[in-house]
Amino acid sequence: MIQTERVTSGIKGLDPLIEGGFPKGRSILVTGEPGTGKTIFALQFLADGLARGEKAIFVTADEGPLDVLEQAASMGWDFERYVETKELAILNAGTYLSSLPGAGRERQIDLQKAVSDLAAFVNQIGASRLVLDPAGPFVLLRDSAARIQDQTRLLIKLLRTSMNTTNLLTSYAVPRTGERSMHGIEEYMVAGAIVLEMIWHSEGGLGRSLIVEKMRCTNVKPTQLEFDIIKGEGLVIQPAS
Ligand SMILES: Nc1ncnc2c1ncn2[C@@H]1O[C@H](COP(=O)(O)OP(=O)(O)OP(=O)(O)O)[C@@H](O)[C@H]1O
Ligand SMILES: [Mg+2]
């Protein structure tokens, strides 16, 4: 019988709740409003793999590679060392996408080519973990919602077929009502979906929360988990009280 292989998330307290980790070789989407912790989640997923001797690729779209290194360093993760040893590559999707013909939303992105260029990097370093932070720019350059859905479906499919990586995609929060598809990556197309949110405590004050909305092949109880972001550790799930 086929057993689902697992890839540890690196998030302290999360893996035991998802049968040991993400389904290997699949795409997991982390969504949330700005500042909820998506980038740190993604960095932590890679830091965990790197510490286990795996190779990794971080594709950044909003920030430059130096910003990514700085954010990682601020958490206590020395990614520069891994870049030097070629165990980690940080690629700038912004530079890549702006080199394509056209302008703004009219820009025609050849997703097939973009992913095959990416797969060349993945194979070159033998990466097993991949992050697209955020993934939106790969699919949001078309103007109609239907095309974006097609692009998203194609992106997830190409990631699955052209490389052996477990993929973490980040996206801005998708409103739960109204016009969804113009905002981000649709959750039904990925194997796993995690939502990060700020919450108000009943006793007052803000906190951070994480919901595993879906995880294919995984027995996961829908619960809102509270977490902290701690320097030197990253996201840490608080024990259930
Ligand atoms: N070195 C650090 N130590 C502790 N907390 C940090 C550290 N760096 C960042 N944080 C906290 O983590 C929060 C989330 O940061 P992160 O960049 O992961 O959010 P994000 O969801 O990716 O935001 P955006 O949508 O703007 O990209 C920051 O707003 C800050 O409160
Ligand atoms: Mg971010």
Q: Is the CB of 40 under 6 A from ligand 1?
A: yes
The residue whose CA is least distant from atom 23 of ligand 1 is 35
Give the 3-state secondary structure of residue 68.
helix
- Within a domain: 201: no
* Tokens (6 digits) for 138: 């790969």
Q: Is the CB of 75 under 6 A from ligand 1?
A: yes
Q: Peptide bond preceding 175: is omega within 30 degrees of 0, i.e. cis? A: no
- Within a domain: 238: no
Residues spanned by the domain of 121: 28-191
What is the Å distance from ligand 1's center to 160 Cα?
29
* Distance in angstroms (rounded) separating the CA atoms of residues 234 and 41: 7
Q: Is the CB of 236 under 6 A from ligand 1?
A: no
- Within a domain: 16: no
Closest residue by Cα to residue 114 from 133, 89, 91, 90? 91
Q: Is the CB of 32 under 6 A from ligand 1?
A: yes
Provide φ and ψ at 127, rounded to 5°: -75, 145
- Within a domain: 196: no
Radius of gyration of the chain (CA): 17
Q: Is the CB of 37 under 6 A from ligand 1?
A: yes
CATH number for position 88: 3.40.50.300
Number of helices followed by number of strands (H, E) in the chain: 7, 11
Total domains present in the chain: 1
- Within a domain: 223: no
Question: Which long-range contacts link 99-102 to residues 24+ away (Cβ below 8 Å)?
Answer: none
User: Residue 30 belongs to what H/E stretch?
Assistant: strand 27-32
- Within a domain: 205: no
- Within a domain: 7: no
- Within a domain: 216: no
Tell which atom from ligand 1 comes closest to the C-alpha of 196: 21
Per-residue pLDDT, 181? 42
Task: Give mean pLDDT in consecutive 10-residue pieces for the chain, a chain of 241 residues.
Answer: 96 96 97 95 98 98 94 97 97 83 64 91 96 88 71 91 96 62 66 94 91 94 93 93 68
The residue whose CA is least distant from atom 11 of ligand 1 is 229
Give the E-state strand segments of 93-191 in sequence order.
129-133, 166-172
